[in-house]
Amino acid sequence: MFAVLELSGTPFERGRMHGQLARAQVTGSVRCYASLFASCGIDWSEAQRRAAQYQDIIAGCGGGMMEEIEGIAGGSGFAVKEILALNCRTEILPPTFMGMETTNSDAARRKNAAIGLFDIGECTSVAVSGARCIDGQTRVAQNWDWIGYQRQNVVALRVLRDAPWPSFLTLTEAGILAKIGVNDHGVAIGLNILRATNDREHVGIPVHIFQRMALDCASVDAVVALGKSLAFAASSNAILGDATGKVCSLEYSPSGAAAIPPDQGVIAHTNHFCDPRLAERQAPLAQMLTTEPRLHCADTHIAEWPDQIDDAYLGMLLRDETGPASATNAEAKFGAICRSPDMSLPPDLRVESVFGVIINCDKRTMLVAPGIPSKVDFGLLAL
């Protein structure tokens, strides 16, 4: 299981504990993103300069988030701007991540040609209302697909706060305030990266800061209202559930935000826009080849479910390595929800399912597979 850090006190104190207890993992996160930014022609100094543009915005988001970032920096020994760069990593990476024109595009193309086409699609998620679960309890589940070597830098944060701020449990990359989690109101949030052609044209709320803001909310409706009130710098989808049984997907981008309701109490999402208006600015999917087949695969699983399910059905979905039954062997890898790395690629391009998680909104618990879900058992974490 991932390291579990229990954090309490003021925001700065919580951040300092985070930085001290996970110093090795924060160092790993810095190395990971310095490498990824460099592959896009962005050196670490430039990454910090870009991240600094978001400092005032984050400070204005409430909850002491900027103080917590300062605490992480103090505890880990990194500069504040370096920790900002981790929390703004989605906003720093180019919209299509090695797919847009930069001064180094020719070199990147030569590198891609040498290693063959790779897919950077990330994450399949699903939310299931309590009415569709045998025990009446709402679930949010997903695989987090990303660079495999970042697994060693994943931590679970159990953040204990005084009222009116809810405590929460989150799985995140060390140095980043939040990613996938549940709070003591029973609000759960997952994450699917999206990419729009107008990403990064203006500064706005960073994706991972919004994930943390959502964990301050008391209901899915409150998260949706918050998302619709904000201006974003980049695009993502927050898949949501709460202990009242409400579930939805909240797609957002610099063009706005849209809540997508469930169908018969269930909604699945991958890495392309489903809202028609936001989809008008969808970035090309040439390097996101698996997103549509993975959504089809998830929908195929869901269509075969009985009227009510338990965690075993969600586990089977997250462990799917075959794709839709109609796929040929050659096509199956593009629809597989559980993804293994292509060992022929360099380590910094080996996208895989880093972990799987099934969140119970009512119990405020997570079942976590701390590796490729088909290869490891799920273990219990509780808020």
* pLDDT for the residue 101: 39
Question: Is the model's pLDDT at 119 over the cut of 60?
Answer: no
Q: For 239-296, give the DSSP string.
A: EEE-TTS-EEEEEEETTEEEEE--BTTEEEE-SS--SHHHHTTBPP-TT-TTHHHHHH
Question: Is the model's pLDDT at 109 over the cut of 90?
Answer: no
* pLDDT for the residue 121: 60
CA–CA–CA angle 255, 175, 341 (5° rounding): 80
Q: How far apart are CA 340 and CA 159, in angstroms?
A: 31
Identify whether residues 94 and 178 lie together within a single domain.
no
* pLDDT for the residue 106: 44
Q: Band of the pLDDT at 346, cuts 50, 70, 90?
A: confident
Question: Is the model's pLDDT at 98 over the cut of 90?
Answer: no
Identify whether residues 171 and 48 lie together within a single domain.
no
* pLDDT for the residue 111: 45
Q: Band of the pLDDT at 90, cuts 50, 70, 90?
A: very high
Which of 83, 115, 147 is the endpoint of a domain?
A: 115
Kindly compute the dihedral angle of the four CA atoms of residues 377, 250, 57, 4, in this order, to the nearest 10 degrees. Answer: -10
Report pLDDT digits (tens) over 11-33: 999 999 999 999 999 999 999 99
Mean pLDDT of 65-81: 98
Q: Count Cβ atoms within 10 A of the Cβ of residue 56 and give its class: 0-12 exposed, 13-18 middle, 19 or more buried.
A: exposed
Query: For residue 283, what are its two tokens?
Result: 């970035």
Look up residue 133 and give its amino acid.
C
Question: Is the model's pLDDT at 374 over the cut of 80?
Answer: yes
Identify whether residues 175 and 310 lie together within a single domain.
yes
Average pLDDT, the chain: 90
Q: In the block, which residue shows the tokens 């103090």?
A: 74
- Number of Cβ within 10 Å of residue 79's Cβ equals 11
Q: How many structural domains comprise the chain?
A: 2
- The alpha carbons of the chain give a radius of gyration, in whole angstroms, of 19
DSSP 314: H
328 lies in which domain range?
Answer: 124-382
Identify whether residues 48 and 177 lie together within a single domain.
no
Identify whether residues 144 and 95 lie together within a single domain.
no
Identify whether residues 228 and 377 lie together within a single domain.
yes
Q: Which residues of 347-374 are buried (b: 16+ CB within 10 A; e: fewer)?
A: eebbbbbbbbbbbbbbbbbbbbbbbbbb
Question: Is the model's pLDDT at 157 over the cut of 80?
Answer: yes
Q: How far apart are CA 177 and CA 197, in angstroms?
A: 27
Q: Band of the pLDDT at 115, cuts 50, 70, 90?
A: very low
* pLDDT for the residue 110: 43
Report pLDDT digits (tens) over 164-182: 999 999 999 999 999 999 9
- Number of Cβ within 10 Å of residue 67's Cβ equals 17
Q: Which residues contact 70 (CB under 8 A, 6 or more apart)?
A: 12, 15, 80, 83
Identify whether residues 43 and 170 lie together within a single domain.
no
Q: Which pTM does this prediction carry?
A: 0.92
Q: In the block, which residue shows the tokens 């679930």?
A: 139
* pLDDT for the residue 150: 95
CATH code for the domain of 174: 3.60.60.10
Report pLDDT digits (tens) over 265-302: 999 999 999 999 999 999 988 767 789 999 999 999 99
Report pLDDT digits (tens) over 192-211: 999 999 999 999 999 999 99
Q: How many CA atoms lie within 13 Å of 241's alpha carbon, on the beta-carbon side?
A: 35
Which of 90, 115, 140 is the endpoint of a domain?
A: 115
Q: For 180-201, give the DSSP string.
A: EEEETTS-EE--EE--BTTTTS
- Number of Cβ within 10 Å of residue 222's Cβ equals 15
Question: Is the model's pLDDT at 326 over the cut of 60?
Answer: no
Identify whether residues 316 and 187 lie together within a single domain.
yes
Which of 115, 144, 168 is the endpoint of a domain?
A: 115
Q: Band of the pLDDT at 113, cuts 50, 70, 90?
A: very low
* pLDDT for the residue 65: 97
Identify whether residues 229 and 362 lie together within a single domain.
yes
Look up residue 61 and give its amino acid.
C
Identify whether residues 43 and 75 lie together within a single domain.
yes
* pLDDT for the residue 99: 40
Hey, which residues does 193 pair with through a beta bridge?
236
* pLDDT for the residue 324: 58
Which ranges of the chain does DSSP label H, i.e. alpha helix?
Answer: 11-21, 23-39, 44-52, 55-59, 65-76, 80-87, 89-92, 105-115, 207-214, 220-229, 276-279, 291-303, 311-318, 329-335
Identify whether residues 147 and 85 lie together within a single domain.
no
CA–CA–CA angle 118, 88, 241 (5° rounding): 85
Identify whether residues 91 and 212 lie together within a single domain.
no
